[in-house]
A and B are shown apart, each in its own frame.
Chain A
Amino acid sequence: MTTTASAPTDQATRVLVCAYDRLTPDLGVAALIGDTQVALFRLADGSVHAVQNLCPFSGASVLSRGITGTRGDVPTIASPIYKQVFSLIDGTCLVTMDKEPQAGIAPDLVVHPVTVDNGQVYIDLAGGP
């Protein structure tokens, strides 16, 4: 057991995504779980975070390719398209760059619970906040 970044997950609904060592610090990757795309980040402190890969402001599935950072103490991800900044803790959009999200999409991100178990990374789509 390494780190959990969110609430504990249900053993039954969580899905194995990859080995923890496959993740490079601060370099996101995308994962495909069913039809759902997830952006997965291992941060410098070792914690792992998962949010939706869909960028609400462009409609493209690209958040895994954004730059991680911090705003104050909050770990963040910036969209690579129009540079909006989102919290990796609760998905809140912190910087909108004076833009509106695409029609029908919420500005904040869905955060998915992640567990690292025995060197393996699991995401629980059912276990949303």
Chain B
Amino acid sequence: MTETKRIVVVGGGMVAHRFTEAMRDRDADGQHHITVLGEEPRAPYDRVALTSYFTGKDPEELSLGTPELWDDPRVTLHRDALVTRIDREAREVEDGAGRRFPYDHLVMATGSYAWSPPMEGADLPGVFVYRTIDDVAALRLYVEARAKELRRPVRGAVIGGGLLGLEAAGALQGLGATSTVIQFADRLMNLQVDEGGGHALSRLIENLGVSVRCNTATQAIKPDKSGRAGRLTFADGGEMLVDVVIFATGVRPRDELGREAGLAMGERGGVVVDDTCLTDDPAISAIGEVACIQGACIGLIAPGNTMAEIAVDRLLGGQSTFPGADTSAKLKLLGVDVASFGDAFAQTPGALELVYADPVAGVYKKLVLTDDARTLLGGILVGDASAYASLRPMVGSDLGEDPAAWLLPEGSGERPSVELPDEANVCSCNNVSAGAIRCAVTDEGCTDIAGVKACTKAGTSCGSCLPLVKKIMGTELEKAGIEVSNALCEHFDMSRAQLFSAIQVSELRTFSEIIERFGVGRGCDLCKPAIASILASLYNEHVLAQDRAALQDTNDRVMANMQKDGTYSVVPRVPGGEILPEHLILIGQIAQDYGLYTKITGGQRIDLFGARLEQLPSIWKRLVDAGMESGHAYGKSLRTVKSCVGSTWCRYGVQDSVGMAIALELRYRGLRSPHKLKLGVSGCARECAEARGKDVGVIATDKGWNIYVGGNGGFTPKHAQLLVEDVDGATVFQVIDRYLMYYIRTADRLQRTAPWQEEHEGGLEAIREVIMEDSLGICADLDEHMARHIDSYEDEWKAVLNDPERLAQFTSFVNAPDQPDPSLAYVEQRGQRRPATASERESGAVLIAPSTLEVRS
């Protein structure tokens, strides 16, 4: 066995993370030990998503990969370790604390720093750069403090109108500051988009309230009376009042270590490496932004990840070389789509440009084609970049007879479908080709998007390629004869979402009409409950109305929860978990009278177990007579709204969380959905109600409420993600109305909110646009639909009590209606009863037979 090689990685950013992860994945024999020396006080994080720090993400949520990577015995991560010197002779590096780390191979991944021009006033308080979590945190503190002092909106300016500048402008807006982007060039993002694209971008961004000044050179930042940044002066003599300034004037490689160690340097900085990422010292590689590869340093994550993979491959004896940087990018800046790929500026000789511009809609699209107008060379998409995922991998491929079809607005016609070549790069973040995705299906047996993601890493970084990954996977599965069927079952070819619209549009209301029109045969245990649920979502009629009883799943059919021995549990509704003492006593009394086993549930209710079918109506009646109702602990429906005690009693609460929880539970009770729904409300940021583990979590703030969506417990737990911040009570209802209704209409059968949200095209951002900005124009419809639900709510248990026909279904035997099921048997445990096991029945240990359980009252 060979000796373990010591690899030292200088720098703890995204590329260092990729290197470490790839090495641990591929170094099967564990021959390499990796020491990562990071200057920041935290493990590598997703710097690209830095702005999301303002939309409520914790720094931890920006973490890359799984934390287990750093627990691996073959990986050591030193935080706060700023390397100050490379000793090439001794093969050691030294950090600021004087610690020395010997290496067999050194990997430089020091990245770059935010460069600010040598400008008067650049060192004043209130001037920031935008690069690390600490930069962003400092900016946030400053803006929040200034806002308090000034008692008016803080005036922000961003110097630099590139990608980072627009990110920073968005961040300022997110902090409640006004923002102006000051750009030296004649248009925004001049490195990525052409003139037409730049103008479209300016218009879109100005519509969002960000001011843009192009062709403007900033001369100085002047202090105000307190000595903080107060005024910008421009070369044309103009001025502008500011309270905070962010420099987004580009980045420079952090190459000083290499320079001091005498490594070859690029003309404009950066440590020179060859196509295998080696520097002129064969024991040192450089990857990411610090590396000057093929003559340039590249400030994008995708080429950085590629370099990390190459460095790993070479250390393991591989032969890979750098293929050239793919500088394609698709971004969502301030909610505006911008994408640029391939030869975006048509520099190829003879290249043709095909432009589609719609100034009203704020869309600019350009394709660059070869002189025969067939082969795609590159393109620019502003305002609507939905075609990016399909187009970017087509660079170098034939677009077919009518390339213009690719530029038409989405939904205006069929986009041409062209088979991608195997080598086409589909996921540029993780360098995954179309061939690799096909392989995952054909060789690895992946049959769903989660499998393909796990297997290839495609779509795990920015996610913009997921629609395409899905499409390639689908085509491949089809070829392999594996049906990628969204079909509900053998009786319906449609998916649940399709069927939902079909039923809605056709206005059919009975199962027999629906299956006759849209299906075949007579239905089964899969499609019947699904259609019953759709009908309930659409019309909110009683679950046992008309022919519906026979469609309902186990629990809905009798409106209680079937347990393992065929008896039921009843869970009275306790909205928000608030209960009157007399109701508490009543529940106890019912349990005693019927000999029911009682247990407190996870949803702040009390569960009464062991009620027989024929006993259910009389139990419900006891509840109804006392002003209570039974509750949904069953069905694909709203279950409970859990709450903490909130501001009425709690020393820390800032809002009445119980009041909000009760209002929400009464609003959505009875709502049928593709899967169960749970809500939670916390009265302050301490989050005692664990609302972020719920489908919808509402958390009080000083100013109102934050709404989180898509949290799930269960088999694959997920924390809910922030949807909106600091909204008032009425808005809480409106936002949740729309979120739930949109989910109900579009989710798959038995798909919970977390996977729905994840698989929704465009993810949560797109859902936010549907709900908050009405991007599909359906909000009024969603509102109206939910209003109808709320108005038509009825106590479904009470309704049965008043209906002799339905009541007849609650009998034990058709020929002996009052005879209890003779096969039931119980034993006592901890002072209550539970179903006897098979061996207890055999041994005669059964203590309680049903005949002894007659109702006392």
Residues of A at the B interface (CB closer than 8 Å) are 17-18, 22-27, 29-33, 35, 37, 40, 43-44, 54, 58-62, 65-72, 75-76, 78, 80-81, 83, 85, 102-103
Taking a contact as CB atoms under 8 Å apart, the answer to whether B815 and A67 are in contact is no
Distance A36 CA – B350 CA, assembled complex (angstroms): 88
The 3 closest A-B pairs by CB, nearest first: A69-B524, A78-B525, A60-B566
Distance A102 CA – B821 CA, assembled complex (angstroms): 19
**B490 contacts the other chain (Cβ, under 8 Å)?**
yes
Distance A88 CA – B280 CA, assembled complex (angstroms): 79
**B852 contacts the other chain (Cβ, under 8 Å)?**
no
Distance A61 CA – B814 CA, assembled complex (angstroms): 14
Taking a contact as CB atoms under 8 Å apart, the answer to whether B564 and A25 are in contact is no
Residue of B nearest to A83 (CB): B525
Partner among A44, A66, A72, A83 whose Cβ is within 8 Å of the Cβ of B512 = A44
Taking a contact as CB atoms under 8 Å apart, the answer to whether A68 and B566 are in contact is no
Partner among A22, A24, A60, A69 whose Cβ is within 8 Å of the Cβ of B525 = A69
Distance (Å) between the CB of A5 and the closest chain B CB? Answer: 15
Distance (Å) between the CB of A115 and the closest chain B CB? Answer: 15
Chain A residues positioned under 8 Å from B549 (CB to CB)? 24, 27
Distance A26 CA – B819 CA, assembled complex (angstroms): 23
Taking a contact as CB atoms under 8 Å apart, the answer to whether B490 and A18 are in contact is no
5 A-B pairs (CB sep. < 8 Å):
A17-B815, A32-B812, A71-B490, A76-B524, A78-B524
Chain A residues positioned under 8 Å from B811 (CB to CB)? 29
Q: Which of A32, A54, A69, A72 has the most CB of B within 10 A?
A: A69
Residue of B nearest to A23 (CB): B814
* Known contacts A17-B815, A81-B564, A71 near B524 by CB under 8 Å: yes
Chain A residues positioned under 8 Å from B518 (CB to CB)? none
Distance (Å) between the CB of B294 and the closest chain A CB? Answer: 55
**B396 contacts the other chain (Cβ, under 8 Å)?**
no
Chain A residues positioned under 8 Å from B512 (CB to CB)? 44
Which candidate, B554-562, B645-653, B698-706, is the interface stretch facing chain A? B554-562
**Given A18-B814, A67-B552, 10 more contacts at CB 8 Å?**
A23-B814, A24-B809, A40-B814, A61-B566, A62-B562, A66-B525, A67-B528, A70-B524, A80-B557, A81-B564
Distance A32 CA – B522 CA, assembled complex (angstroms): 28
**B547 contacts the other chain (Cβ, under 8 Å)?**
yes
Chain B residues positioned under 8 Å from A23 (CB to CB)? 814
> What mask results when residues 517 to 558 of chain B are scored 1 for a CB within 8 Å of chain A, else 0?
000011111001100000000000000000101111110011
Taking a contact as CB atoms under 8 Å apart, the answer to whether A60 and B838 are in contact is no
**B234 contacts the other chain (Cβ, under 8 Å)?**
no
Chain A residues positioned under 8 Å from B361 (CB to CB)? none
Taking a contact as CB atoms under 8 Å apart, the answer to whether A102 and B838 are in contact is yes
Taking a contact as CB atoms under 8 Å apart, the answer to whether B524 and A30 are in contact is no
Distance (Å) between the CB of A89 and the closest chain B CB? Answer: 14
Taking a contact as CB atoms under 8 Å apart, the answer to whether A69 and B522 are in contact is yes
Partner among B490, B550, B816, B823 whose Cβ is within 8 Å of the Cβ of A61 = B823
Partner among B558, B814, B822 whose Cβ is within 8 Å of the Cβ of A29 = B814
Distance (Å) between the CB of B633 and the closest chain A CB? Answer: 16
Distance (Å) between the CB of B803 and the closest chain A CB? Answer: 13
Distance (Å) between the CB of B466 and the closest chain A CB? Answer: 31
Taking a contact as CB atoms under 8 Å apart, the answer to whether B562 and A32 are in contact is no
**B565 contacts the other chain (Cβ, under 8 Å)?**
yes
Chain A residues positioned under 8 Å from B813 (CB to CB)? 29-32, 37
Distance (Å) between the CB of B696 and the closest chain A CB? Answer: 29
Residue of A nearest to B551 (CB): A67
Distance A22 CA – B814 CA, assembled complex (angstroms): 8
CB neighbors of A among B289-330 (8 A): none
Chain A residues positioned under 8 Å from B814 (CB to CB)? 17-18, 22-23, 29-31, 40
Chain B residues positioned under 8 Å from A59 (CB to CB)? 565, 838
CB neighbors of A among B602-650 (8 A): 613
Taking a contact as CB atoms under 8 Å apart, the answer to whether B819 and A65 are in contact is no
Taking a contact as CB atoms under 8 Å apart, the answer to whether A103 and B838 are in contact is yes
Taking a contact as CB atoms under 8 Å apart, the answer to whether B838 and A65 are in contact is no
Taking a contact as CB atoms under 8 Å apart, the answer to whether A69 and B528 are in contact is yes
Distance (Å) between the CB of B455 and the closest chain A CB? Answer: 24
Taking a contact as CB atoms under 8 Å apart, the answer to whether A37 and B524 are in contact is no
Taking a contact as CB atoms under 8 Å apart, the answer to whether B564 and A85 are in contact is no
Distance (Å) between the CB of B810 and the closest chain A CB? Answer: 11
Distance A116 CA – B522 CA, assembled complex (angstroms): 23
Residue of A nearest to B808 (CB): A22
Distance (Å) between the CB of B174 and the closest chain A CB? Answer: 48
* Known contacts A27-B549, A30-B813, A61-B566, A81 near B522 by CB under 8 Å: no
* Known contacts A18-B814, A27-B809, A81-B564, A37 near B553 by CB under 8 Å: no
Taking a contact as CB atoms under 8 Å apart, the answer to whether A62 and B566 are in contact is yes
Taking a contact as CB atoms under 8 Å apart, the answer to whether B812 and A30 are in contact is yes
Q: Which of A40, A54, A62 has the most CB of B within 10 A?
A: A62
Distance (Å) between the CB of A34 and the closest chain B CB? Answer: 10
* Known contacts A30-B813, A31-B813, A31-B814, A69 near B554 by CB under 8 Å: no
Partner among A29, A61, A66, A70 whose Cβ is within 8 Å of the Cβ of B522 = A70
Distance (Å) between the CB of B391 and the closest chain A CB? Answer: 44
Distance A124 CA – B816 CA, assembled complex (angstroms): 17
Residue of A nearest to B819 (CB): A32
Residue of A nearest to B511 (CB): A26
Chain B residues positioned under 8 Å from A17 (CB to CB)? 814-815
Q: Which of A22, A31, A60, A85 has the most CB of B within 10 A?
A: A60
Distance (Å) between the CB of A128 and the closest chain B CB? Answer: 20
* Known contacts A18-B814, A29-B814, A67 near B524 by CB under 8 Å: yes
Residue of B nearest to A84 (CB): B525
Partner among B521, B524, B554 whose Cβ is within 8 Å of the Cβ of A65 = B554
Chain B residues positioned under 8 Å from A78 (CB to CB)? 524-525
Distance (Å) between the CB of B662 and the closest chain A CB? Answer: 33
Partner among B521, B547, B550, B558 whose Cβ is within 8 Å of the Cβ of A67 = B550
Chain A residues positioned under 8 Å from B613 (CB to CB)? 65
Chain B residues positioned under 8 Å from A76 (CB to CB)? 524-525
Taking a contact as CB atoms under 8 Å apart, the answer to whether A25 and B566 are in contact is no
Chain B residues positioned under 8 Å from A32 (CB to CB)? 812-813, 815-816, 819, 822
Taking a contact as CB atoms under 8 Å apart, the answer to whether A25 and B550 are in contact is yes
Residue of A nearest to B813 (CB): A32
Chain B residues positioned under 8 Å from A29 (CB to CB)? 811, 813-814
Chain A residues positioned under 8 Å from B551 (CB to CB)? 67
Distance A54 CA – B521 CA, assembled complex (angstroms): 27
Chain B residues positioned under 8 Å from A54 (CB to CB)? 823
Chain B residues positioned under 8 Å from A75 (CB to CB)? 522
Distance A59 CA – B565 CA, assembled complex (angstroms): 7
Taking a contact as CB atoms under 8 Å apart, the answer to whether B550 and A68 are in contact is yes
Residue of A nearest to B527 (CB): A69
Chain A residues positioned under 8 Å from B524 (CB to CB)? 67, 69-71, 76, 78, 85
Partner among B550, B564, B566 whose Cβ is within 8 Å of the Cβ of A26 = B550
Residue of A nearest to B822 (CB): A35
> What mask results when residues 272 to 295 of chain B are scored 1 for a CB within 8 Å of chain A, else 0?
000000000000000000000000
Distance A102 CA – B842 CA, assembled complex (angstroms): 14
Partner among A37, A44, A67, A85 whose Cβ is within 8 Å of the Cβ of B821 = A37
* Known contacts A58-B564, A60-B564, A31 near B550 by CB under 8 Å: no
CB neighbors of A among B4-37 (8 A): none
Taking a contact as CB atoms under 8 Å apart, the answer to whether B529 and A81 are in contact is no
Distance A69 CA – B521 CA, assembled complex (angstroms): 9
CB neighbors of A among B57-81 (8 A): none
Chain A residues positioned under 8 Å from B822 (CB to CB)? 32, 35, 37
Taking a contact as CB atoms under 8 Å apart, the answer to whether B562 and A80 are in contact is yes
Taking a contact as CB atoms under 8 Å apart, the answer to whether B562 and A81 are in contact is yes
Distance (Å) between the CB of B617 and the closest chain A CB? Answer: 16
Chain B residues positioned under 8 Å from A85 (CB to CB)? 524-525
Distance A40 CA – B812 CA, assembled complex (angstroms): 13
Distance A77 CA – B358 CA, assembled complex (angstroms): 58
Distance A69 CA – B525 CA, assembled complex (angstroms): 6
Chain A residues positioned under 8 Å from B491 (CB to CB)? 70
Distance (Å) between the CB of A36 and the closest chain B CB? Answer: 10
Taking a contact as CB atoms under 8 Å apart, the answer to whether B565 and A60 are in contact is yes
Distance (Å) between the CB of B543 and the closest chain A CB? Answer: 13
* Known contacts A17-B814, A66-B525, A61 near B821 by CB under 8 Å: yes
